[in-house]
Every structure is written in structure tokens, then in C-alpha cells.
Amino acid sequence: MVKEQITEWIRDGKVKPGDKIYSEKELSGMFAVSRHTVRQAIGALVHEGLLYREQGAGTFCSASPNLSANDSYAGPSGSSPASVNRKNIGVITTYISDYIFPSIIKGIESYLTAEGYSLTLACTDNDLEKEKQCLQAMLNRGVDGLIVEPTRSSNYNPNINYYLALEQNQIPYLMINQFYAQLMPPHVIVNDDHGGFIATDHLIRLGHHRIVGLFKTDDLQGIERMKGFIRAFRENEVEFFSEMVLTYTTEEQGSALIRRLEPFFSGASPLPTAIVCYNDQLALAVLDLLRKQGLRVPDEISIVGFDDSPLAEASEVKLTSVTHPKMELGMAAAKWIVAAVEGMDLLPQSIVYEPRLVIRGSTASVKGREV
């Protein structure tokens, strides 16, 4: 009942994309149900991409009901593309409602709306077959430009022909966060190699030498972050232990990955003294594992995350993390694609953000331990 009512509010335009919805307490009172029931309903709508959560801010509307690559999201004004003659930009992301993606999408949407463009939003769940369906739908819809977050960007992409079709139809496209090396398209990214380096260099300078690196390798971000991790050992002339790198794919993330990490802290000698994580989401899962193992952070082991997301400050131990521009990156991508659609010359082939390290309470120097 709660889920259907919220969906109806969105469908009727009473709640528009970007609007904050009622709190769990308010919804619980309105429907005379428990907060647990409300939480389940909201969780289902977040999973479907209709809502998204921002840590410490609340829950917001992210899309119109049944939004897919065949439906348009017109922005906060609520006007549909059919009612006004304006150009439409397609946006394909790997995810919509999780982690840093709402902030990136918000950056894109805010600029497009200000410029009078509408937005068609779709997500692939990091699945190549879904990416194919999204690309087909975008081409069928006749979008004027396309912003794409690549799916499994470190592997060969079987959907290259759709990108070539965009080029043949003179539809500009731009990739964000990473890009397909086979195409070398215009892109807006973070220098992930440097991010991996500064995270690891920070730990080495604190006296840590036995450092575990956890990296996702079916996306190019993970490959680049791992390169920076290895480079920090080389440039600091610290011995590198190959078994201290643990790689995983999209299918292996979550509890399966954490189980693979457990042996590192089950009687191994000497124990690792620090961990570099692919992102903050993983860092929180590792923090929970260490807590169960009875290891104190940062007294016994230090952790560094990546993306400086709201999750970095969501636990009792605040994470040291590498920054990601998020909303700024989204706005830069939107500015680029609008300029390309409007025929502006001399657009940059790439925009690369240099990350920095935000030091919090999850890292400390080694205290009297063998390194």
C-alpha cells in the first residue's frame, strides 16, 4: 500500500524528480504502519530506481514510474518533452540509486534543465546485455546526445557497433568515470592511478609495509587504482608481496569477497597492517569484518577508501578516502554534451580530475609492530 501510494504521487506529479519525500516517521503515521514496513517499501522503490537516498539528507524522487530508455525525465519543472520543443540528452549509467551515482546524475540534470534540455535516463546494472538494450532504445528514440558510464570498461565491449552507429548518425557522445579503450571517445574521468598512489603512499609514509589492496578488475577504475597502488610500492622502494593484492569482479563483490579476505586475519603471520579499498562501500564492509575479528581501527589496522562518499562518515570510524568530484563531474559532462549538440568547436577530448586524499580517523602510524 505504501509503495503503491508513493508511486502514484510520482506518477501524478505530486512528487517530482529531485523532491524530498516524507520521512519514515511521517509515512508511518500517515499509513498507520510500522517504520519497518515503510523502510521495506522505500527500499523497494530505491531498488527500482524511483527513489534514491542521500546520507544525512533523506530520500528523494529520482525518476518517473517505469522510467527506462524509452521514457523521458524532464527535470524538476515536471514538464514533459512533448509539451515543449526542446532537445533530449540520453544518460546511461551502471547504477541509478546507489552510492555516488545520484550525485553525478543530479549534476547532469541540474545543468541540462537550466539549459532547457530534457533527460532520458537508463541504467545497465553493469550488465552488457542491458547496455545493448539501453543503446538500442536511445538510438530508436533519436536522442540529440548521449552521456555514458561504461559497463565493465576493462574488457572488450561487444556493443561497439552501437557507438559507431551514434557516430554515423552524428550524435555526439561522452563517457564518464572511464571509457572504452577500443573507441578512445571524449571522456570526463578521475585520475584513478593517482588516487591509488596517494592512498598507498599515505600508508607507507605512516610506516605500513604489509598493505592489502582490494580492487575490482572488470571496470577500468579498479585497474587504474591498482596500478597506482603498485606504483607507490615501487617509488617508495618497499618490497611488494603479490599475495597482498586481492581482485574481484562485479559478480564476486559483497559477502563472497569478504569471505576471501578473512584468511588474511585468521592466524596469518605477520598480519597486514593496512588495507586500501576499491571504494568506500567496500571499506565499510571491511571495517565490519575487522570489528568481528576483534581488530581495532586504526590502532591495529588502517583503512583507506575511495570516492569520499557520504559513507566515509557514516560509521563510528570516519574513513580516510580519496576524493571523487561527483556532482561537479556530472555538470562538466552535461556542459560538454550540450556544447557538442550545439555545434561548438574545439571541445576538449578529455577532462581529468586530480583527486586528493581526505585524512580522517581510519589511518594512523604503525605503533611498535613489525612492518
Arithmetic mean of pLDDT over the chain: 87
Question: What are the tens digits of pLDDT across the range 186-239?
Answer: 999 999 999 999 999 999 999 999 999 999 999 999 999 999 999 999 999 999
Asked, for residue 309, whether it belongs to a domain, the answer is: yes
Which CATH number goes with the domain that contains 14? Answer: 1.10.10.10
Q: Is the pLDDT confidence value at 64 over 80?
A: no
Asked, for residue 9, whether it belongs to a domain, the answer is: yes
Query: For the residues 302-317, what does the mean pLDDT come to?
Result: 93
Domain count, the chain: 2
Percent of the chain with pLDDT over 90: 58
The residue with greater pLDDT, 322 or 9, is 322
| Res 47: pLDDT | 66
The amino acid sitting at 277 is C
| Res 25: pLDDT | 86
Choose the final residue of a domain: 323, 338, 364.
323
Distance between CA atoms of residues 90 and 104, nearest Å: 14
Percent of the chain with pLDDT over 70: 90
Choose the final residue of a domain: 13, 37, 66.
66
Asked, for residue 120, whether it belongs to a domain, the answer is: no
Query: For the residues 290-315, what does the mean pLDDT come to?
Result: 93
Place of cell 528514440: 141
Q: Is the pLDDT confidence value at 369 over 50?
A: no
State the number of CA atoms in the 13 A half-sphere of 329 facing the CB. 30
Query: For the residues 28-47, what does the mean pLDDT come to?
Result: 81
Q: Is the pLDDT confidence value at 353 over 50?
A: yes
Q: Which domain holds residue 278?
A: 192-323
* Residue count (the chain): 371
Instruction: Give the lowest-confidence range in 35-39, 81-85, 245-249, 278-282.
Output: 81-85
Q: Is the pLDDT confidence value at 370 over 60?
A: no
Asked, for residue 308, whether it belongs to a domain, the answer is: yes
Q: Please, which pLDDT band fits residue 256 given cuts at 50, 70 and 90?
A: confident
Q: Please, which pLDDT band fits residue 63 given cuts at 50, 70 and 90?
A: low
Asked, for residue 132, whether it belongs to a domain, the answer is: no
The pTM for the full model equals 0.77
Query: For the residues 75-81, what does the mean pLDDT come to?
Result: 36
Asked, for residue 60, whether it belongs to a domain, the answer is: yes
Contact 322, 305 (CB under 8 A): yes
Asked, for residue 116, whether it belongs to a domain, the answer is: no
Which residue intervals of the chain are DSSP H helices? 2-11, 24-31, 35-47, 101-114, 128-141, 160-168, 192-205, 220-235, 255-261, 280-292, 327-341
Asked, for residue 306, whether it belongs to a domain, the answer is: yes
Choose the final residue of a domain: 66, 91, 111.
66
| Res 242: pLDDT | 74
Which CATH number goes with the domain that contains 243? Answer: 3.40.50.2300
